[in-house]
Amino acid sequence: MSASTESARPDDGLLAPDQQLHARRFAAQLLSGEQARNAAAVAERLLAIQAQDPRGARLAIRSRSIGLTAADVDRALTEDRSLLITWLNRGTLHLVRSEDYWWLHGLTAKPQFQVGCLRILARLGVTEQQADKGVAVVEKALRTDGPLARAQLAERLAAVGLPRASGVALHMLMLASLRGVAVRGPMIGAQHAYVSPHDWLCSPPRAFDRDLALAELARRYLAGHAPASDRDLAKWAGLPLGQVRRGLHAIACELRDRPDGLAELAAAPAEEQSLPPPRLLGAFDAVLLGWESRDAVLAGHQGIVTANGLFRPFALVAGRAVGVWTYSAGQVTLDRFGPLPDDVEAALAAEASDVARFMAGSPAGEERDEAA
């Protein structure tokens, strides 16, 4: 047994104070205790699931639910229309419930993300005037002929004179999404198509109330991440600290007093939580993205987060990373950081089988989005 695994599995069954903190967070994340019964319930709890890696977003649902498959996630995106993907927190693609789209977009799709997108387009030979024209083309195409895949929209953009350079279509769709005229909706075969949110979803609220949205953000973030600090929330949402403090202050009467000063909903279970069973977590999993520090989970294995910003799939045992894994041709390959006890090996083998079960029939050839 490695030293890191041994220290995470005390023989007396009692958790150290830092483990108690993380046990509560894992429970909030649905990694221990009762799990979700459908994909939308996972998105409801986590609020926003990072999704530039399509497989990783689906695997985040697998590890927090019972009996679902990747096809169930696709069904929620396509037939149920209960989930969608778009650029939100920190200007990054996230999977969210459709009913949370309007207020999250209003709160997190900040103008500076559009500025950054326009700068990239300028380097690709697209002027600001062309970009504005391209957004109008995307909006009209989606409202007239949507859903449409990226390649189909790229042809519409090229037809009005935009360059065919690699990355132009994707960044134009990012800009259109940040401006609220496009979201990723249904799957069409192996392709994730774009739709107009005004046509695909229910009507937006009459007016956006930022204070109400900040309060809802604080409440929903804590449901899936507490105990947490105001700085944790600010980093996760990509919002200024003052704004998230406004949201937390607005729900102060809903919070429980904690000696460590962290915020937690009073409605959360008060009893001590246990650490989750061994899990195989996918790329960009929420347990590495929800707080200022991920050191306790990484347990010194910083290579799980690569120099170019990729978050690798990893094995979680007793709240700590014990290896990284890959999935290819229906098989999981686990690269352990050290020897593991037999019961952990058996649990991870069962997890590997469940990953294969979950992914069976999922569209092949999915890759990360280069602009996410």
Q: For residue 348, is it within any domain?
A: no
**203: helix, strand or coil:** coil
Instruction: Enter the pTM of the model.
Output: 0.93
Q: For residue 291, is it within any domain?
A: no
- Mean per-residue pLDDT, 267-290: 93
Query: pLDDT band at 9, cuts 50/70/90?
Result: very low
- Mean per-residue pLDDT, 182-196: 95
Q: For residue 145, is it within any domain?
A: yes
Backbone angles phi, psi at 250, to 5 degrees: -65, -25
The pLDDT of residue 363: 66
- Mean per-residue pLDDT, 10-37: 84
Express each pLDDT in 162-174 by its tens digit: 999 999 999 999 9
Q: Inform me whether the pLDDT recorded for 354 exceeds 90.
A: yes
Interatomic CA distance for residues 106 and 84, integer angstroms = 16
CA 129 remoteness from chain centre: 33
Q: Which of 64, 96, 70 is nearest to 83 (CA)?
A: 96
Q: For residue 88, is it within any domain?
A: no
Q: For residue 124, is it within any domain?
A: yes
The pLDDT of residue 204: 82
Q: For residue 130, is it within any domain?
A: yes
Interatomic CA distance for residues 14 and 3, integer angstroms = 18
User: Which one is predicted more confidently, 19 or 148?
Assistant: 148
Q: Average model confidence (pLDDT) for the chain?
A: 92
The pLDDT of residue 1: 31
Range of the domain at 123: 111-179
- Mean per-residue pLDDT, 141-165: 97
Q: For residue 279, is it within any domain?
A: no
The pLDDT of residue 11: 43
Express each pLDDT in 204-261 by its tens digit: 877 899 999 999 999 999 999 999 999 999 999 999 999 999 999 999 999 999 999 9
Report the range of poorest mean pLDDT among 11-25, 49-63, 273-287.
11-25
Strand partners, 151: none
314-317 sheet: strands from edge to edge: 279-281, 314-317, 320-328, 331-336
Query: pLDDT band at 369, cuts 50/70/90?
Result: low
- Mean per-residue pLDDT, 184-206: 91
Query: pLDDT band at 13, cuts 50/70/90?
Result: low
User: Domain count of the chain?
Assistant: 1
CA 93 remoteness from chain centre: 8
Q: For residue 161, is it within any domain?
A: yes
